[in-house]
């Protein structure tokens, strides 16, 4: 049985690396403790293993269908949803007053990681609902909150985010869905088409609430005229739910996430689709980005989870599959060895481990900043944590997506010819993973967000804060006896990032925006390598402390040190060459004309 995620690693991050129990000192988390954190994670992981994972393969094999205009999801999903809802996941991090559990996001991330690893699609119905309901919680008026929060947070209704339109994928300035005010009424009439709406229709719940970007008639063009609406599939009128003129116009045949329908949705075919404005008009993009930023962390976590479950499978296969003999052993009368014995197989496994555990450590780091940004009583700490969270979000989204895809590819490769067949599971996770570099902002868009905004805001303040965080880690690492040469490698790389960022910032200030951003993806890559090296150094420090406590569990700590070494020796040395590309502005694709291809 695949364990989905390494329990020991989760405990390590919780208690030895990120000290999440310390969060319970904050008033918002005061009812929690290490024990409640562990109990939560434990109850979730049990449902992940016992309920969600066994349904993964059947759900992948039989995706939702469109029948008579309505989407039918897999029967297993009808069984799973109540089990997930019973865990109280949708509102777990929300305040008590809206029915939530005031759980730290960082602990919530460690718990939901198991669900994502078990069955990405199944958990997504809930994750999407949390995001949608939070928008209403944050920006909606009292009437909206009264009407929507309880059914959504309790899982009776599910939610979606409806942003993308056929002519406007990444370009939200070009959203064309139209909202027409109705004199004296509490709603607008909405018309338009959205695509790629995950969970946009299903037969699981009596209602679905689409948090939708639309343009109020007469609004300014571009992003400044986009507003946020709640559009229920069936609108509450008195005690009844009335059809709200949302039509499923098609189902996309996705290559992964096949338990979750992705549909094309048309509003207002009969001019009877009511949309309820959330917050002030024309503020939709800013509001949506609250959800989007959390969604990006969720994508990162999805990616880590998908790589993790495949890695666990590859590990088991490598331990069990006999093939070949040790190098130089040409005696065919001796039994074959397990492929784990081949250096290159161990390389592939260690690379997966370094990516997955490094990515997870980063996500918990980012979620911890989120917890502090929202719940610290100290305004300075809130501001500092918020900046760090914003800075790390594009990395926490794109690193697990891009490198995680490589990890999933290696899990297929470890399985050899069998890995290329659907008799084995790695190919399914490999298909699932690919979406993560695309949705919620492609890797290219993350790179522009990082280099074009996040590191440049307020004169580079966020990067300075990051430098202080890394310094603190270096201090802990040196105290714990981590190799000095590893510490210096990270220091040098960070210095290089700072100098490079200043140079690129200067280029931008001088008006050469194209030149500044030409290598944004290379910049994102080198930045990610350094950030993950920082996390590995933090883990190495914790591992050294663990080893110092005695021989108990030393195998785990030794593995951590090997993976840290791998990352620092194999990935960090790539940084200078990437920085040169950014700095010198290698101009091949800048010069490349369309008809030269």
**Within 307-346, which residues bind a copy of itself (CB under 8 A)?**
315, 319, 322-325, 327-328, 330-333, 336, 340, 342-346
CB neighbours of residue 511 within 10 Å:
9
SS3 531: helix
Single out the segment in contact with a copy of itself by CB under 8 A; choices: 26-34, 76-84, 490-498, 588-596.
Answer: 588-596
Per rule CB under 8 A, is residue 141 in the interface with a copy of itself? no
The two tokens of residue 14 are 């919780």
For a copy of itself, the closer of residues 98 and 581 by Cβ is 581
Give the Å distances, CA to CA, from 535 to 99, 117, 254, 338, 579.
Answer: 34, 22, 34, 32, 21
Is 590 an interacting residue with respect to a copy of itself (CB under 8 A)?
A: yes
Among 520, 525, 528, 535, interactor with a copy of itself by CB under 8 A: 520
Per-residue tokens: 196:
């790629």
d(CA 361, CA 367): 10
- For a copy of itself, the closer of residues 371 and 449 by Cβ is 449
Is residue 471 within the footprint of a copy of itself (CB under 8 A)?
A: no
Nearer to a copy of itself by Cβ, of 496 and 581: the residue is: 581
Please identify, using beta-carbon distances, which residue of 25 and 596 lies nearer to a copy of itself: 596
Q: What span, in angstroms and rounded, lies between the C-alpha atoms of 84 and 72?
A: 19
* Residue number with CB closer to a copy of itself (103 or 299): 299
Q: Does 239 bind a copy of itself (CB under 8 A)?
A: no
289 binds a copy of itself (CB under 8 A): no
DSSP per residue, 121-148: HHHHHHHHHHHHHHHHHHH--HHHHHHH
State the nearest-atom distance from the C-beta of 72 to a copy of itself, in Å. Answer: 19
Three-class HEC string of 355-403: HHHHHHHHHHHHHHHHHHHHHCCCHHHHHHHHHHHHHHHHHHHHHHHHH
Nearest distance from C-beta of residue 392 to a copy of itself, angstroms: 21
Size of the site for a copy of itself (CB under 8 A): 95
Strand, helix or coil for residue 560: helix
Reply yes or no on whether 440 is catalytic.
Answer: yes
For helices 520-548 and 461-480, angle between their N-to-C axes, nearest 10 degrees: 30
Give, in order, the Cα–Cα distances in Å from 75 to each of 44, 198, 515: 21, 18, 53
Question: In the stretch 523-542, what mask flags binding to a copy of itself with x, by CB under 8 A?
Answer: --------------------
- Active-site residue (options: 76, 165, 440, 571): 440
State the nearest-atom distance from the C-beta of 203 to a copy of itself, in Å.
22
CB of 441 to a copy of itself, least distance (A): 11
By CB under 8 A, the residues from 210 to 229 that bind a copy of itself are 221-223
Per-residue buried b or exposed e for 300-313, using 16+ beta carbons within 10 Å of the residue's own CB:
bbbbbbbbbbbbbb
Binding pattern for the stretch 166-195 against a copy of itself, x by CB under 8 A and - elsewhere: -xxxxx-xx--------------------x
Minimum CB separation of residue 589 from a copy of itself in Å reads 4
In the bound state with a copy of itself, the residue whose beta carbon lies nearer, of 522 and 538, is: 522
Pick the closer one to a copy of itself by CB: 168 or 465: 168
Q: At its nearest, how many Å lie between a copy of itself and the CB of residue 50?
A: 24
- The least CB distance from residue 413 to a copy of itself, in Å, is 6
Is residue 562 part of the contact set for a copy of itself (CB under 8 A)? yes
Burial of 355 (0-12, 13-18, 19+ CB in 10 A): buried
Across 38-51, b (16+ Cβ under 10 Å) vs e yields bebbeebbebbbeb
Residue of the chain from 518, 529, 537, 542 that contacts a copy of itself (CB under 8 A): 518
Helix axis angle, 426-434 relative to 379-414, nearest 10°? Answer: 140
Output the smallest distance, CB 27 to a copy of itself, in A. Answer: 41
Q: Is 574 in the site for a copy of itself (CB under 8 A)?
A: yes
Rg (CA), the chain: 24
Q: In the complex, what is the shortest distance from the CB of residue 382 to a copy of itself, in angstroms, rounded to a whole number?
A: 31
In degrees and rounded to multiples of 5, residue 542 shows phi and psi of -65, -35
Residue 266 beta carbon to a copy of itself: minimum distance, rounded to whole angstroms: 18
Give the pairing of strands 226-232 and 234-237.
unpaired
Task: Give the one residue of 30, 39, 255, 280 binding a copy of itself; rule: CB under 8 A.
Answer: 255
Q: Does 43 bind a copy of itself (CB under 8 A)?
A: no
Binding to a copy of itself in span 422-451, by CB under 8 A: 422-423, 427, 430, 434-435, 437-439, 442-444, 447
DSSP-H helix ranges across 49-104? 56-61, 75-86
Closer to a copy of itself by CB, 352 or 370: give it.
Answer: 352
Residue 236 neighbours by CB under 8 Å, 6+ apart: 147, 242
In terms of CB distance, is 38 or 522 closer to a copy of itself? 522
Distance CA 325, CA 345 (A): 13
| Sole binder of a copy of itself in the list 35, 146, 320, 420 (CB under 8 A) | 420
Single out the residue of 178, 161, 185 nearest to residue 441, CA to CA: 161
CB atoms closer than 10 angstroms to residue 583: 17
Which amino acids are annotated catalytic?
Answer: 440
């Amino acid at each position: 049985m695949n364990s989905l995620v390494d329990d020991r690693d989760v405990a390590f991050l919780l208690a030895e690396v990120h000290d999440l129990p310390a969060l319970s000192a904050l008033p918002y988390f005061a009812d929690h403790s290490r024990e409640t954190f562990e109990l939560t994670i434990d109850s979730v992981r049990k449902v992940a293993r016992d309920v969600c994972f066994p349904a993964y393969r059947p759900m992948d094999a039989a995706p939702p269908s469109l029948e008579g205009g309505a989407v039918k999801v897999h029967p297993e999903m009808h069984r799973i949803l109540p089990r997930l809802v019973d865990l109280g996941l949708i509102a777990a991090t929300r305040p008590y007053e809206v029915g939530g559990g005031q759980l730290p996001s960082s602990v919530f991330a460690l718990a939901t990681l198991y669900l994502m690893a078990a069955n990405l699609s199944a958990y997504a119905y809930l994750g999407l609902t949390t995001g949608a309901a939070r928008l209403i919680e944050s920006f909606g008026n009292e009437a909206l909150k009264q009407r929507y929060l309880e059914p959504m947070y309790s899982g009776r209704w599910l939610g979606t985010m409806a942003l993308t339109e056929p002519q406007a994928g990444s370009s939200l300035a070009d959203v064309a869905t139209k909202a027409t005010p109705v004199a004296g009424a509490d709603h607008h009439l909405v018309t338009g088409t959205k695509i790629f709406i995950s969970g946009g229709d299903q037969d699981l719940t009596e209602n679905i609430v689409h948090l939708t970007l639309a343009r109020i008639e007469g609004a300014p063009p571009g992003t400044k005229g986009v507003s946020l609406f709640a559009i229920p599939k069936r609108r509450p009128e008195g005690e009844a739910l009335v059809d709200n003129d949302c039509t499923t116009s098609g189902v996309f045949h996705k290559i992964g996430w096949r338990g979750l329908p992705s549909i094309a949705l048309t509003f207002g075919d009969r001019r009877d689709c009511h949309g309820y404005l959330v917050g002030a008009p024309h503020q939709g993009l800013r509001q949506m980005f609250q959800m989007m930023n959390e969604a990006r962390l969720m994508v990162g976590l999805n990616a880590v989870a998908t790589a993790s479950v495949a890695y666990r499978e590859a590990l088991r296969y490598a331990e069990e599959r006999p093939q070949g003999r040790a190098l130089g052993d040409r005696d065919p009368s001796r039994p074959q060895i397990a492929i784990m014995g081949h250096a290159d197989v161990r390389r592939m496994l260690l690379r997966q481990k370094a990516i997955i555990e490094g990515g997870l450590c980063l996500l918990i780091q980012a979620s911890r900043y989120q917890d502090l940004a929202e719940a610290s009583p100290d305004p300075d700490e809130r501001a500092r944590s918020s900046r760090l969270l914003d800075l790390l979000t594009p990395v926490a989204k794109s690193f697990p997506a891009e490198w995680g895809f490589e990890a999933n590819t290696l899990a297929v490769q470890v399985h050899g010819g069998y890995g290329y067949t659907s008799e084995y599971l790695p190919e399914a996770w490999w298909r699932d993973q690919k979406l993560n570099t695309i949705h919620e902002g492609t890797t290219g868009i993350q790179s522009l967000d990082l280099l074009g905004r996040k590191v440049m805001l307020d004169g580079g303040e966020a990067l300075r804060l990051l430098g202080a965080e890394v310094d603190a880690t270096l201090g802990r690492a040196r105290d714990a006896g981590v190799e000095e040469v590893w510490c210096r490698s990270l220091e040098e790389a960070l210095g290089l990032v700072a100098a490079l960022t200043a140079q690129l910032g200067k280029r931008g200030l001088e008006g050469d925006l194209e030149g500044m951003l030409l290598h944004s993806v290379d910049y994102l890559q080198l930045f990610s390598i350094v950030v993950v090296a920082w996390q590995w150094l933090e883990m190495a420090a914790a591992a050294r402390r663990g080893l110092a406590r005695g021989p108990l569990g030393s195998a785990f700590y030794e593995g951590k040190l090997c993976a840290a070494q791998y990352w620092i020796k194999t990935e960090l040395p790539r940084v200078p060459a990437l920085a040169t590309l950014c700095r010198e502005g290698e101009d091949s694709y800048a010069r490349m004309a369309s008809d030269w291809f």
